[in-house]
């Protein structure tokens, strides 16, 4: 088992760095090549979501990312934003008409996460602050 | 390193060929040395500031300048280069970091053991920090052309939470400038995330409100999958080429 941890300031520019590291660690962990695009997208979506939440609440706290290579490849993205509204997508996708661009992006992000990740959990942070997005892929 | 070495040879040839008599030339030379030094340093950033800055200094010196400062922040390297001329000293600062080069991710990452990953052989300059913009950026490219009565916006590279605002700006400009039949060609897009999708939905709504329409060109399966997962394949007309998009008459979709 190996673990790679990193934290980053909630800036959009850093999300790509995390995506790149995520794919590198996934490849090393033995995640099949044809899944790496999905890992890249899902890691990016989880981090974009965290950055957007921190920015919305004016938080400068770091976003934490932890990648673990156990029997599955597990990525956890942990934000520090207060809980407001549903953290998990509920029901079918709404029509994008009538929603702001930001709201559309947020909804699409969650749709992509649920569509791309074998096993997705979104839960409250352990100390009651923030949320943790936990994603895992089988190393087939 | 090949690209860097080739650039180095060109700069050296140019440098010795022209008489360095003006402050402008000296400034350009200092900037070029700082740019190349920062890039060279960034490629070694994972080995720490000692190695990164030593590499930067070699390249700065080879470009006929003197390295007066070098700093490593995370994986970003900031280099200041100085060129002395008869009229004084020209100085320039450049910052470079590591990002993926379009289409070559597999070559970029090197496992160093112990959970450390080198992201090497990636080059860019950060235009917000004063370097020559656009020279090494490979993150997002936008170009517009007209095909028949359609405005075709070709998008390349990565559309994500960082670059999507630039795509939004361009689309708003096009609509404000009177474009009504807009085709966004995603053929060269390597990465598209939900922020990019949000921008496309926004443009779709803006165009429809103006009596226009938006069509997308997208033939690659990974991208198509994103549109299917988000059900946006039912919102946008998707075509496999610019020709079919413009021939199909985007206007048919507008009403």
Where residue A11 sits, what CATH number does that domain have? 3.30.565.10
CB pairs under 8 A between A and B: 107
Confidence check: pLDDT of B234 > 80: yes
Tell me, letter by letter, the H, E, C secondary structure of A50-66.
HHHHHHHCCCCCCEEEE
Where residue B203 sits, what CATH number does that domain have? 3.30.750.24
Does B34 map to a domain? yes
Residues B100 and B205 in one domain: no
- Structural domain for A13, as ranges: 2-138
Structurally, chain A folds into a number of domains equal to: 1
Residues B249 and B195 in one domain: yes
Strand intervals (E) in chain B: 66-73, 76-85, 88-96, 109-113, 116-119, 140-147, 150-159, 181-192, 213-217, 238-239
Quick one: angle between helices A33-56 and A101-116, nearest 10? 140
Does B109 map to a domain? yes
* ipTM beyond cut 0.90: no
Does B134 map to a domain? no
Does B167 map to a domain? yes
Residue B181, burial from CB neighbour count under 10 angstroms (0-12, 13-18, 19+): buried
Confidence check: pLDDT of B6 > 70: no
Reported as half-sphere exposure (CB side, CA atoms, 13 A), residue B1 has a value of 6
Residue in B77, B94, B124, B96 with CA at minimum distance from that of residue B28: B94
Which pLDDT band, with edges at 50, 70 and 90, does A105 fall under? confident
Structurally, chain B folds into a number of domains equal to: 2
Nearest-by-Cβ selection for B111 from A28, A52, A105: A28
Pairing state between β B181-192 and B150-159: parallel
- Contact, A45 vs B160, CB < 8 A? no
User: Cβ B230–A93 below 8 Å, yes or no?
Assistant: yes
Does B20 map to a domain? yes
- B162 vs A contacts (CB less than 8 Å): 12-13, 15-16
pLDDT of residue A128: 78
| pLDDT tens sequence across B166-193 | 999 999 999 999 999 999 999 999 999 9
Between A100 and A53, name the one with better pLDDT: A53
Question: By mean pLDDT, which of B12-16, B29-33, B64-68, B150-154 is the weakest?
Answer: B12-16
Q: How far is CA A140 from the centre of its chain?
A: 22
Sequence-distant (≥ 6) Cβ neighbours of residue A27 within 8 angstroms: A33, A36, B106, B109
Whole-structure pTM value: 0.63
Confidence check: pLDDT of B121 > 50: no
Does B54 map to a domain? yes
Long-range contacts of B24-28 (CB under 8 A, 24+ apart): B26/B83, B26/B85, B26/B90, B27/B83, B27/B90, B27/B92
Q: In chain A, which residue's Cα lies nearest the Cα of B191?
A: A41
Confidence check: pLDDT of B78 > 80: yes
- Structural domain for B169, as ranges: 140-254
For residue B79, give both structure tokens. 């280099």
pLDDT of residue A45: 95
Residues B113 and B178 in one domain: no
The shares of helix, strand and coil residues in chain A, as percent rounded to the nearest 5, are 40, 25, 35
Residue in B85, B233, B44 with CA at minimum distance from that of residue A111: B233
For residue A82, give both structure tokens. 């207060």
Residue in A77, A73, A63, A83 with CA at minimum distance from that of residue A113: A77
């Amino acid at each position: 088992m190996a673990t790679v941890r990193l934290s980053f300031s909630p800036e959009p520019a850093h999300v790509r760095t995390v995506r790149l590291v995520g794919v590198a660690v996934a490849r090393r962990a033995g995640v099949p090549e044809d899944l790496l695009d999905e890992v890249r997208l899902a890691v990016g979506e989880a981090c974009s979501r965290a950055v957007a939440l921190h920015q919305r609440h004016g938080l400068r706290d770091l976003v934490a990312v932890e990648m673990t290579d156990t029997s599955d490849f597990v990525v956890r993205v942990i934000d520090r934003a207060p809980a407001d509204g549903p953290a998990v997508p509920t029901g079918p996708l709404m029509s994008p008409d009538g929603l702001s661009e930001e709201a559309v992006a947020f909804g699409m992000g969650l749709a992509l996460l649920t569509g791309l990740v074998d096993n997705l959990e979104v839960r409250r942070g352990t100390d009651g602050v923030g949320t943790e997005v936990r994603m895992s892929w089988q190393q087939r | 390193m090949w690209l860097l070495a080739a650039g180095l040879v060109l700069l050296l040839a140019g440098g010795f060929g022209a008489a360095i008599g003006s402050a402008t030339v000296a400034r350009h030379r200092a900037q070029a040395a700082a740019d190349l030094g920062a890039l060279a340093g960034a490629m070694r950033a994972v080995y720490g500031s000692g190695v990164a800055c030593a590499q930067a200094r070699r390249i700065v010196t080879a470009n006929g300048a003197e390295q007066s400062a070098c700093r490593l922040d995370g994986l970003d390297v900031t280099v200041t280069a100085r060129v002395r001329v008869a009229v004084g000293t020209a100085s320039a600062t450049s910052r470079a970091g590591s990002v993926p080069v379009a289409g070559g991710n597999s070559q970029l990452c090197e496992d160093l053991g112990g959970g450390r990953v080198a992201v090497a052989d990636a080059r860019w300059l950060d235009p917000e920090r004063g370097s020559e913009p656009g020279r090494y950026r490979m993150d997002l490219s936008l170009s517009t052309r007209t095909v028949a009565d359609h405005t075709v916006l070709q998008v390349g590279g990565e559309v994500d939470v960082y670059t999507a605002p630039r795509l939004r700006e361009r689309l708003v400009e096009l609509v404000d400038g009177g474009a009504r039949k807009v085709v966004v060609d995603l053929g060269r897009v390597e990465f598209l995330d939900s922020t990019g999708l949000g921008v496309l939905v926004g443009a779709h709504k803006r165009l429809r409100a103006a009596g226009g329409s938006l069509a997308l060109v997208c033939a690659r399966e990974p991208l198509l999958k994103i549109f299917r997962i988000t059900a946006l394949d039912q919102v946008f007309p998707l075509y496999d080429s610019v020709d079919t998009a413009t021939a199909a008459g985007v206007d048919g979709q507008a009403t």
